[in-house]
Amino acid sequence: METVLGDLRGRNCLVYLDDIIIYSSSVADHLQDIQSVFDRLKAAGLTLNLKKCRFCLPELKFLGHVVNAEGIHADPAKVEAVQKFPIPTSLKAVQRFLGMAGWYHRFVPDFSKVAEPLNHLKKKGVKFQWTPACQGAFDTLKNSLITPPVLGHPNLNAHFIVYTDASQTGLGAVLAQQTGLGTEEVLAYASRTLNSAERNYSTTERECLAVVWALEKWSYYLEAKIFTVVTDHAALQWVLASGKTNSRLIRWSIRLQKFDFIIEYRKGKLNVVPDALSRITETANVCPPLCSTYTTAKCLDDSFPLDDESVWRAQQKDAAIMAIHKSLSEEDSKSRFNDKYSIIQDKLYRKTPRGDGIHSTHYRVFIPSTLCDQIIQAYHANPMSGHLGVFKTYRRLQEVVYWPGMWVDTRKFVQQCEVCQKYKPDIGRPAGKMQQTVVNHPNEMLGIDLM
């Protein structure tokens, strides 16, 4: 369908699977746009089911949203289903509720903050227990969708403004644009929690991460135009343009070079909405930095499939690890391993210098050989990121774990991944356009869908 409509997509129509939405600024233009779409379909030999067609509608329900001249609303029928959802009594019920409510996260300014107690129940190793905090989050999410805000339609000719903020536990952002009346109209809210590793970032790094995350999230609106980024962290006005910064900020500044924006400083008390979005609940598994001079793989991200005790037990059974552990544990030891390894909470870590001016040493947990495949599987086939390639999988592993020969093991595992081999992109010639089957008389050929 996308091939058939070609250049009409984005100009006067949108395509989602086999659904076509035609939009116009006036009735006269709408009739012409409908005719142009019909001409393309006719040329491709495609027909439409008249019973499923709707024409010249002032308001449209699509994918759980209501779109009209005022803006984008949540579908009242879908919202009612969320509000009538019973109190969850199992993890699967929590997942179903978050899936339904999460569809409308763009209408809830502090969705990540509110949903934190419920998301905590989904973590590996957490026993399901419905607490008052969970009930409060459940009720707040349902109540926030009773009268959700109306989000404006983006005007690509208007000036966009991105508000960002970061806290110890999360990021928040608001996408807005200036209207002809001199006011600002909100287009979308966004927020997310920081993983354990990101919570060890310095304040400047977290604020910069908020900018990178927000701009890449809304890049389809912001690329190839000048816009404004509003932050309550004054240092961002010069740190990205300065060469005197650490390697992480340099990498992020390179990612931001495709955007053309002006950074505007605004005090936190005047940057209210994104500041509130970033204030994720402080009591839910906040992992404070162990020391201001180093970070450690103790603060593992959500992809890590094992808890500390499992890693410790496996290390105790690994002869090579225990040999290093014993050498480092000897009193007045001048072991040759001192420069490369450390023992933290009775577990062995590999340490490497960062040299970024913020954290001088990076600590990664030493993974025993019996757990290597399990760790690679978790980082290669994470449901939130899909099956990554060799290099990206290795880079994710390299941030938190270590074992000798990790690159070779990662490459071998990814190359032998059955899912990757089965579903990797087809590099052959693309399929042609769909054609109707030619028949000689009615009922010569019948098609049946079996459900």
Give pLDDT tens digits for 198-215.
888 888 888 899 999 999
Q: What is the pLDDT of residue 426?
A: 66
Q: What is the pLDDT of residue 212?
A: 93
The average pLDDT across 96-115 equals: 75
pLDDT tier, 162 (very low <50, low <70, confident <90, very high otherwise)? very high
Q: What is the pLDDT of residue 245?
A: 67
Q: What is the pLDDT of residue 119?
A: 84
Contact 262, 228 (CB under 8 A): yes
- Structural domain includes residue 41: yes
- Residue 244 sits in a domain of what CATH number? 3.30.420.10
Q: What is the pLDDT of residue 294?
A: 31
CA distances from 260 to 165, 256, 257 (A): 19, 8, 7
Look at 339 and 390; give whichever has higher pLDDT. Answer: 390
Least confident of 63-72, 197-206, 267-276, 362-371: 267-276
- Structural domain includes residue 43: yes
- Structural domain includes residue 135: yes
**Pair 166, 260 in one domain:** yes
Crossing angle, helix 132-144 and helix 76-83, to 10 degrees?
160
**Pair 110, 186 in one domain:** no
The average pLDDT across 396-414 equals: 90
Statement: residue 404 has pLDDT above 50 = yes
- pLDDT mean across residues, the chain: 78
The average pLDDT across 93-101 equals: 83
Q: What's the CA gap between 159 and 176, in Å, rounded? A: 9
With 0-12 CB in 10 A as exposed, 13-18 as middle and 19+ as buried, what is 426? exposed
Q: What is the pLDDT of residue 356?
A: 44
Q: What is the pLDDT of residue 384?
A: 62
Statement: residue 142 has pLDDT above 50 = yes
Q: What is the pLDDT of residue 409?
A: 93
Q: What's the CA gap between 437 and 58, in Å, rounded? A: 37
Of the residues 116, 144, 172, the one at which a domain ends: 144
**Pair 193, 267 in one domain:** yes
Least confident of 14-23, 52-61, 277-286, 362-371: 277-286
**Pair 91, 191 in one domain:** no
Q: What is the pLDDT of residue 204?
A: 85
- Residue 355 sits in a domain of what CATH number? 1.10.340.70
Q: How many domains does the chain have?
A: 4
Least confident of 39-48, 148-157, 266-275, 346-355: 266-275
**Pair 301, 207 in one domain:** no
**Pair 409, 322 in one domain:** yes
Contact 240, 207 (CB under 8 A): no
The average pLDDT across 127-153 equals: 79
- Structural domain includes residue 150: no
pLDDT tier, 333 (very low <50, low <70, confident <90, very high otherwise)? low
**Pair 271, 298 in one domain:** no
Of the residues 254, 278, 302, the one at which a domain ends: 278
**Pair 308, 197 in one domain:** no
- Structural domain includes residue 431: no
- Structural domain includes residue 67: no
Domain membership of residue 382 as a residue range: 294-423
**Pair 404, 314 in one domain:** yes
pLDDT tier, 410 (very low <50, low <70, confident <90, very high otherwise)? very high
pLDDT tier, 331 (very low <50, low <70, confident <90, very high otherwise)? low
- Structural domain includes residue 439: no
Percent of the chain with pLDDT over 70: 80
The average pLDDT across 17-39 equals: 86
Q: What's the CA gap between 396 and 282, in Å, rounded? A: 26
Of the residues 111, 144, 177, the one at which a domain ends: 144
pLDDT tier, 308 (very low <50, low <70, confident <90, very high otherwise)? confident
**Pair 310, 418 in one domain:** yes
Q: What is the pLDDT of residue 283?
A: 36
Percent of the chain with pLDDT over 90: 6
**Pair 261, 369 in one domain:** no
- Structural domain includes residue 428: no
Statement: residue 301 has pLDDT above 80 = no
**Pair 406, 315 in one domain:** yes
Considering the entire predicted model, what is its pTM?
0.44
Q: What is the pLDDT of residue 297?
A: 38
pLDDT tier, 428 (very low <50, low <70, confident <90, very high otherwise)? low
